[in-house]
Amino acid sequence: MQFFRKLIYFTLCQCLLGSAIILTSPRRIFFFALSYRVKVRGSAILYQPVLFAGKGVVSLGNSVKFGVQQSAYFYSTYTYVEARGETAKIIFKDNVWCNNNFVAVANQTSITISENCFIGLNVEIFDSNFHDLSPERRGYTDPNPQPVFIGKNVFIGNNVKILKGVTIGDNSVIGNASVVTKSIPENVVAAGNPCRVIRTL
Ligand SMILES: CC(C)(COP(=O)(O)OP(=O)(O)OC[C@H]1O[C@@H](n2cnc3c(N)ncnc32)[C@H](O)[C@@H]1OP(=O)(O)O)[C@@H](O)C(=O)NCCC(=O)NCCS
């Protein structure tokens, strides 16, 4: 019975999005059904409900996972991945695993998360300030969005916020609750607000 239920979800998702997404609960399929407008390429394992949104493209490598059942906020939150504009791209390379309540919004450029990254709870990544900083133009969108690039094998702690234009080098670790405003080199531990290198690995 369980097998047939999964098969129906799986087929429905393929019809809706052309994507091989594995879904196993009505809540997950509900959120996935809300994602019908965005172009999702590739496949992922959705332990938590994921809302894909926007007019751009979301690209999923092999074995990309969203959500962790044995972790906080599993039942109360969902993952939000928005490639907002037509030029926006969010790319998850192979074996990326994002814990619960993950948010990534690319307004017009790109967010790339490279192979084998672990991302903690409540992490947010943005490619834009979303509002113009000048008081007269605050209602307009940020005219200078900048891509975010996270290298391979990066470990991002819980509650980290990564702002536009940031690159994080391969293998680095970002400490809990850091606000990453500038790029971080490879093979370091970095933490704080603003996030700074605290030691090398
Ligand atoms: C950064 C981290 C990995 C520790 O690295 P570490 O190399 O062992 O660092 P230490 O604990 O020796 O701390 C080194 C310095 O950095 C500071 N520091 C450590 N973590 C920090 C953080 N998250 N924010 C700000 N400063 C931090 C320490 O206070 C210490 O400062 P001091 O030298 O002035 O005393 C750890 O603190 C952390 O944030 N882990 C992430 C946990 C997490 O969220 N896991 C996700 C589960 S899915």
What CATH number does the domain containing 180 carry? 2.160.10.10
Centroid of ligand 1 to alpha carbon of 121 (angstroms): 16
Using one digit for the tens of pLDDT, what is the confidence trace for 89-130? 999 999 999 999 999 999 999 999 999 999 999 999 999 999
When pLDDT is cut at 50, 70 and 90, the band that residue 146 belongs to is: very high
Quick check: 105 and 141 in contact, CB under 8 A?
A: no
- Ligand 1 atom nearest to 199, measured from its CA: 7
**Closest residue CA from atom 25 of ligand 1:** 192
> Mean pLDDT, to the nearest integer, of 164-173?
98
**Is 36 one of the annotated active-site residues of the chain?**
no
The minimum-distance atom of ligand 1 relative to the CA of 120 is 48
User: Which pairs with CB-CB distance under 8 Å and at least 24 residues apart come from 190-197?
Assistant: 191/157
CA–centroid distance, residue 188 to ligand 1 (Å): 12
Residue 53, both tokens: 């949104």
Domain range enclosing 20: 2-200
Count how many domains the chain has. 1
Backbone angles phi, psi at 8, to 5 degrees: -65, -45
CB atoms within 10 A of CB 93: 19
What's the Rg (C-alpha) of the chain? 17
pLDDT tens, position by position, 15-70: 554 454 555 577 888 887 888 778 999 989 989 999 999 999 999 999 999 999 99
